[in-house]
Amino acid sequence: MLRYIIRRVLIMVPTLVVTSMLIFTLIQLPPGDYFETYVAEMQAQGERADLSRVAFLKKEYGFDKPPVERYLRWVGGFFVGDYGYSFEYQLPVSEVVGDRLYLTVLVSFATILFTWAVAFPIGIYSATHQYSWGDYGLTFLGLIGIAIPHFLLALVFMYFANVWFGLSIGGLMDPQYFNQPLSWAKVGSILHHLWIPVIIIGAGGTGSMIRAVRANLLDELQKQYVTTARAKGLSPFKTLMKYPFRMSLNFFISDIGSVLPSVVSGAELVAIVLSLQTTGPLLIRALQAQDMYLAGSFLMFLALLTVIGVLISDIALAFLDPRIRLQGASTK
Amino acid sequence: MSGDHVNAPESAPELLPLSPTSLPPPGAPLAHFVSQAPFDAHEAEALSPEQEKFYLASQLRLMWVKFKRHRLALVSGVFLAVMYASIVICEFLAPYNYQTRDTEFIRAPPQAIHLFHEGKFVGPFVYGYAYRLNMDNLKREYTPDKQKVYPIRFLCRGDGYYFWGLVPGDLHLACPAKAGVLFLLGTDRLGRDMLSRLIYGARISLTIGLIGVSISFLLGIAIGGLAGYYGGVFDLLTQRAIEIVQSLPHIPIWLALAAIMPASWSPILVYFGITVILGLMDWTGLARAVRSKLLSLREEDYVLAAQLMGAGTVRVVGRHLIPGFLSHLIASATITIPTMILGETALSFLGLGLRPPITSWGVILNEAQNINVVALYPWLMLPVVPVVLVILAFNFFGDGLRDAADPYN
């Protein structure tokens, strides 16, 4: 087992190296760079850009050097905690992201809890009452959650939350708390606003989770050990919880890999529509403005989290499910 | 079934070779009986016509029989077929050309279809608008004007168009009355008919999913197939590549890729670029499925047989292995089409997707992205209805296909 874990960790290294190259290439590919856009924007507004400052920054960040050198500088910075400099915010990347990370994690965790709390009971009900009206209705509801584009759902929710409940439009708190130190009133305001993004972002995830729980549970329910458990007189609920439900959780563990990065990035589009102060809109904006270090470092962070998530789920699965073989070689 | 049991004792005596009266007296030997019917060694294997239908049916036929049982999937399939058929002739179906602007009717609300005017039957018609500029909030207000009766014309000459951009024509299924208007779903901020734009938008939105899925399908089968069959180093590399692609968050990568496309590209090129982008991020799931299937199937005896007979890799994978689970693959690919359609709306929402004059549902929805629309012009959000319906239909259709394609069910 230990050998397996060590091997899995070692494999992560080349994966991350290739990912970093890919990300660097991707954010370099669009023509032009942040400074060109910036100077053009300033000129369009009839202002004069401070060309000497631009020249200084360009030199400081090696824009006159070949891409390979810049890549090495960028990656090298990671090891000493230097994630680059956001040109747009004129702050180091870690400071720009830092503030927003807490709120993002809050929203995402609330969303995940919401998804689980809704999806598991519904999925179990649907599987045990297959082809009943309840099953059809709930599955349909879940599908609707998948099918509606989330940004539109966000718009509609935002409007009705304002009309019916008098919530301020957009944002995660009432406007007077922006840039205020944390206080009980602020926490209350955040909690008050939290449910809208949680429901909207959770809608899609809940739908697919319901389907997954239902499908996995249905597979397990047909197996003979369920019949055995029933035959020996175990109560239906206990039978369900003790065997098939636990077995059907495997998919759920293997899903952790994708959950982890989404906790940090949040749902970008919904966050833009609701103008949440999370990291999603920051990333999108950075990509659009070609604020390359901000975008690149953040993408790299997400990739790292995914790789760690996959690692965790692989190890957890190997521990939990004895049927999983660690060496996947041909038997012939 | 129970009827047979009741009849059995009555019909049994008739089966005896001799009539009951000729039974020998007790103790005497039974008369010898020889059946004259020709002997058929395969009689036990012979199938009744109903059985024959089932046992000898081709794989496709079996799938069809199973698929038909899934009512919702069948209905969804028919709905999708109709939708796809409509995109072939959308110029004819739309009452207006999608670029026709009527500046007198900016953000006019939908008109209702009526049949009776003041108690008299007129056939399907709409009331014209009475226009008033509200001087308090400068909102254009359109209300139905009961004086203006505009009967809808059918199979008529209306706006000119180029059929598929090539053949000029002006025949429409339905047109507004002469000098009248027909905005069944209202108009947008430039006074264009929403219904016509929706019908034209279907052409782009529905094909983008198909082309994108084809790209990811080919990539997935080729890469996953080779990885699963060869195993070893190639498999390891592919696995890592898949991991890398999956570790990148989709929307930012779409953004970065979409930003690469030069602004000078024509809208059609952008359209193909977007489909390629959507397909490039989507093949990993399919490649994984193909790989794991192949890993288990390549151990089968028939593969060994093929190899011993001298079949090459491409032949073994393409001729023997892939067809075994192709139907399953197609079913899973069907389920990913909605992701593509939603992805396109997301890209268009960020302004990085398709560009006007190309009109997709995402492009139309792009105009519905502020809160005023929800409050004042809710009909601008109507494109969400076909989006939701198509995605639901694809989900049900894909579920039905997958169940039908599963030979163990």
SS (H, E, C) chain B: CHHHHHHHHHHHHHHCCCCHHHCCCCCCCCCCCCCCCCCCCCHHHCCCHHHHHHHCCCHHHHHHHHHHHCHHHHHHHHHHHHHHHHHHCHHHHCCCCCCCCCCCCCCCCCCCCEEEECCEEEEEEEEEEEEEEECCCCEEEEEEEEEEEEECEEEEEEEEEEECCCEEEEEEEEECCCCCCCCCCCECCCCCEHHHHHHHHHHHHHHHHHHHHHHHHHHHHHHHHHHHHHCHHHHHHHHHHHHHHHHCCHHHHHHHHHHHCCCCCCHHHHHHHHHHHHHHCCHHHHHHHHHHHHHHHCCCHHHHHHHHCCCCHHHHHHHHHHHHHHHHHHHHHHHHHHHHHHHHHHHHHCCCCCCCCCCCHHHHHHCCCCHHHHHHCHHHHCCHHHHHHHHHHHHHHHHHHHHHHCCCC
pLDDT score recorded for residue B2 = 41
The answer to whether residue A170 scores a pLDDT higher than 70 is: no
Distance from the A329 Cα atom to the nearest Cα atom in chain B, whole angstroms: 8
| Nearest alpha-carbon partner for A136 in B394, B341, B328, B70 | B70
What span, in angstroms and rounded, lies between the C-alpha atoms of B206 and B359?
Answer: 12
Instruction: Supply B244's token pair.
Output: 């890398």
Its pTM stands at 0.80
Which residues touch B27 (CB under 8 Å, ≥6 apart)?
none
- Contact at 8 Å (CB) between B399 and B73? yes
pLDDT band at residue A37, thresholds of 50, 70 and 90?
A: confident
Q: Specify which residues B128 forms β-bridges with.
A: B145
Q: List the structure tokens of A124.
A: 């179990």
Question: pLDDT digit string (tens) for B133-182?
Answer: 888 877 788 888 888 888 888 888 878 888 887 888 888 888 888 778 88
Q: What is the largest CA-CA distance in chain B?
A: 118
Query: Distance from B214 to chain A by nearest Cα, in Å?
Result: 21
- Rounded mean pLDDT of A305-312? 83
Q: How far is B129 from chain A (nearest CA, A)?
A: 27
Cα B144–Cα B359–Cα B250 angle in degrees, nearest 5? 125
Which of residues 343 through 362 in chain B touch A, CB cutoff 8 A? 345-346, 349-350
Tokens of B316: 């073994």
Nearest-Cα residue of chain A relative to residue B236: A11
Position B76 scores a pLDDT of 92
- Residue B371: which of A22, A149, A158 has the nearest Cβ? A158
Q: Tell whether the torsion through CA atoms of B311, B316, B319 and B324 is positive or negative.
A: positive
Q: Which site among A152, A223, A282 would you substitute to test the B interface, given the most B Cβ atoms closer than 10 Å to its Cβ?
A: A152
pLDDT at B259: 76
Residue B75 has pLDDT above 70, yes or no: yes
Give how far the C-alpha of residue B299 lies from the chain's centroid of Cα atoms, to the nearest Å: 35
Collapsing DSSP states into helix, strand and coil, what is residue A242?
Answer: helix
pLDDT band for position B309 (50/70/90)?
Answer: very high
Average pLDDT, chain B: 81
Tell me which residue in B342, B369, B392 faces A143 most closely, judged by beta carbons.
B392
Q: How close, in Å, is residue A29 to chain B by CA atoms?
A: 6
Q: Rounded CA gap, B269 and B277, in Å?
A: 12
Does the distance separating the beta carbons of B381 and A152 come in below 8 Å?
yes
Q: How many CA atoms lie within 13 A of B24 on its CB side?
A: 8
pLDDT category at A70 given cuts 50, 70, 90 is confident
Rg (CA), chain B: 32
How far is Cα B7 from Cα B174, in angstroms, rounded to an integer? 64
Q: Is the Cβ pair B374, A156 closer than 8 Å?
A: yes
Strand partners, B163: B167
Of the candidates B112, B203, B172, B193, the residue with the CA atom closest to the CA atom of residue B386: B203
d(CA B349, CA B327): 34
**CA–CA gap between residue A244 and residue A216 (Å, rounded):** 9
**Contact by Cβ (8 Å): A120, A206:** no
Rounded Cα distance, A119 and B155, in Å: 50
Residues with Cβ within 8 Å of residue B216, at least 6 apart in sequence: B278, B279, B280, B282, B283, B286, B333, B336
- Tell me what pLDDT residue B96 has: 85
- Gap between the Cα atoms of B375 and B373, Å rounded: 5
Classify the C-alpha dihedral B373-B375-B378-B384 as positive or negative: positive
> Does residue B5 surpass a pLDDT of 50?
no
Nearest residue on chain A to B344, alpha-carbon basis: A149
> Stretch B74-88: mean pLDDT, rounded?
92
pLDDT value, residue B1: 39
Cα separation, B303 vs B37, in Å, equals 45
pLDDT at B179: 77
Distances (CA, A) of B86 to B41, B64, B90: 57, 24, 6
- B193 vs B335: which has the higher pLDDT: B193
Q: Is the pLDDT of residue A49 over 70?
A: no
Residue A155 belongs to what H/E stretch?
helix A150-165
Is pLDDT at B82 greater than 90 in this prediction?
yes
pLDDT at B4 over 80: no
- pLDDT tens digits, one per residue of B354-366: 877 788 888 888 8
Query: Whole-number mean pLDDT of chain A?
Result: 80
Inform me whether the pLDDT recorded for B10 exceeds 60: no
Identify the pLDDT of residue B17: 52
Residue B217 has pLDDT above 50, yes or no: yes
Give the span between the Cα atoms of B108 and B176, in whole angstroms. Answer: 15
pLDDT given for residue B78 in this prediction: 94
Q: Do B257 and A14 touch (CB under 8 A)?
A: no
Position A166 confidence tier, pLDDT thresholds 50, 70, 90: confident
Q: Which two tokens stand for residue B343?
A: 């992805």
- The partner residue sitting opposite A155, judged by closest CB among B259, B374, B387, is B374
CB contact under 8 A, A288 and B255: yes
Spatial separation of the C-alpha atoms in residues A17 and A29, rounded to whole Å: 18
Helix (H, G, I), strand (E, B) or coil at A142: helix
How distant is the alpha carbon of residue A221 from its chain centre?
Answer: 32
Token couple for A76:
């090298």
User: Is B316 in contact with B307 (CB distance < 8 Å)?
Assistant: yes
Answer yes or no: is pLDDT of A64 > 80: no
Q: Which pLDDT score is estimated for B84?
A: 92
CB pairs under 8 A between A and B: 119
Backbone φ, ψ for residue A117 (5° rounding): -60, -35
Interface of B with A in 257-286 (CB under 8 A): 257, 259-260, 262
Stated as kind and residue range, the H or E segment containing A92 is: strand A91-92
Q: The tokens 């609330």 sit on which residue? A: A110
| pLDDT greater than 60 at residue B380 | yes
pLDDT (average), residues A177-190: 75
Interface test with A, best of B70, B235, B238, B244 (most A CBs within 10 A): B244
> Quick check: B235 pLDDT over 90?
no
Euclidean distance between CA atoms B177 and B174, whole angstroms: 9
